[in-house]
Amino acid sequence: MIGFATRRFVQAMIVMLVVALLSFTMFRFVGDPVNQMVGIETSLEERESLRERLGLNDPIPIQFYHFLSKAVRFDFGTSYQFRQPVSDLFAKRIPATLELSFTSALFALVVGIPMGIFAGLNRESPVSKLFLSVSLIGISLPTFFIGILLIFLFSVTLQWLPSFGRGETVQIGSWWTTGFLTVSGLKALILPSITLGLYQMTLIMRLIRAEMLEVIRTDYIKFARARGLPDRLVNFRHALKNTLVPVVTITGLQLGSIIAFATITETVFQWPGMGLMFLQAVQNVDIPIMSAYLLLTAFMFVAINFIVDILYFLIDPRLRVGRP
């Protein structure tokens, strides 16, 4: 177990180093950092001294080392657009993205799992077939178009829910803001969370259905039924439990793509999160924000992957056999 975890950890560190190198290359070589910081009237001498002060004349490996040691302390330099430290900008926007991602993951699980169980147990029922067709449509509709359709239906036509922003937020502690505590905040969460979570929901539903179909064919389920155990017990205690292993993995991995797809949802709903800021950075070539976003999301992905690997190992005893 410790050997496995160590190996995975080393792999994760290598991935992070590679991403850091990419992010550094982007930061250093796409556009000239000095040109971005000074005005047109700055003299050549001043530029040169700024270059020296920023350490841009040092050998590249040393620059990379400085970049890394700063990144570890969450110092990603100054945004070209906002003239503010990138880390402050991110700190302000992380709560919005995390609350949105969390709510949509919750939505995907709470709706997707029961639908999947039902479709798996009642394979031939018309309701299951309806679920499947709806999920196929859900997979084929691009995220941003789902958002537009929801806005058109619930904000423009029915005028029930807001179409942009987070509503009123409440400050907790020094930097966290939450929309969970106000009515307008909760209302503002509904449409973006559904937009973001719909794809994951269909994915989870299909996964659970497939796993259920597989599990109820196994001998131990047949035996449990032969013993005369009530259906409820067989379905939930015996069958469902064994379908959960892949669900944990996929949900974990999907958490990463939820954060990535949040970029799209945040743009559609003008949600003031990291994704929207990243997109604006891409449009305006704000390299410090882009490289910081790359590093941050990479870190989240790698951390999630690592935790899922370890969880997988803990949940499924079969994996432990035969591993050193």
Partner 1 sequence: MPTVSNEEAKAAVQDRSGAQPAPGRMTRILDSDFFHAFLRSKVTVVAACGTLILFLLAFLAPWIAPHDPFDLASISIMDARVPPVWMDYSDPRFVLGTDDQGRDLLSGIFYGMRISLIVGFCSVFAAAIIGITLGLIAGYMGGRIDALIMRIADVQLTFPAILIALLIDGVANGIFGSLDRDIFAFYILIVALALSFWVQYARTVRGSTMVEKNKEYVQAARVIGLPSVIIMARHILPNVMGPVMVIATINLALAVVTEATLSFLGVGMPPTQPSLGTLIAIGNDFLYSGEWWIAIFPGLALALLVLNVNLLGDWLRDALNPKLR
| Residues near partner 1 (CB under 8 A) | 14-15, 18-19, 26, 30-31, 136-137, 139-145, 148-149, 151-152, 156, 163, 256-257, 260-261, 263-264, 267-268, 278-279, 281-283, 285, 287, 290, 294, 297-298, 301-302, 305
In the 3-class helix/strand/coil scheme, how is the chain assigned residue by residue? CHHHHHHHHHHHHHHHHHHHHHHHHHHHHCCCHHHHHCCCCCCHHHHHHHHHHHCCCCCHHHHHHHHHHHHHCCCCCECCCCCCEHHHHHHHHHHHHHHHHHHHHHHHHHHHHHHHHHHHHCCCCHHHHHHHHHHHHHHHCCHHHHHHHHHHHHHHHCCCCCCCCCCCCEEECCCEEECCCCHHHHHHHHHHHHHHHHHHHHHHHHHHHHHHHHHCCCHHHHHHHHCCCCHHHHHHHHHHHHHHHHHHHHHHHHHHHHHHHHHHHHHHCCCCCHHHHHHHHHHHCCHHHHHHHHHHHHHHHHHHHHHHHHHHHHHCHHHCCCCC
Minimum distance from CB of 55 to partner 1 (Å)?
Answer: 21
**Smallest distance from partner 1 to CB 240, Å:** 24
**159 or 174: whose CB is closer to partner 1?**
159
Report the residue number, 43 or 157, with the smaller CB distance to partner 1.
157
Shortest Å, Cβ 289 to partner 1: 10
In the complex, minimum distance from the CB of residue 155 to partner 1, in angstroms, rounded to a whole number: 8
- Shortest distance, position 321 Cβ to partner 1, whole Å: 25
Q: Which is nearer to partner 1, 15 or 311 (CB)?
A: 15
Q: CA 73, CA 259: separation in Å to the nearest integer?
A: 22
* Nearest approach, Cβ of residue 215 and partner 1 (Å): 18
CB nearer to partner 1: give 1 or 303.
303
CB-wise, 201 or 298, nearer to partner 1?
Answer: 298
* Closer by beta carbon to partner 1, 285 or else 315: 285
**Angle 241-268/143-150 helices, nearest 10 degrees?**
70
Choose between 78 and 305: whose C-beta lies nearer to partner 1: 305
Taking alpha carbons only, the member of 259, 140, 120, 248 closest to residue 199 is 140
Task: List C-alpha distances in Å: 128 to 119, 236, 298.
Answer: 5, 18, 37
Residue closer to partner 1, measured from CB, 216 or 287:
287
- Smallest distance from partner 1 to CB 163, Å: 7
CB 14 to partner 1: min, Å: 8
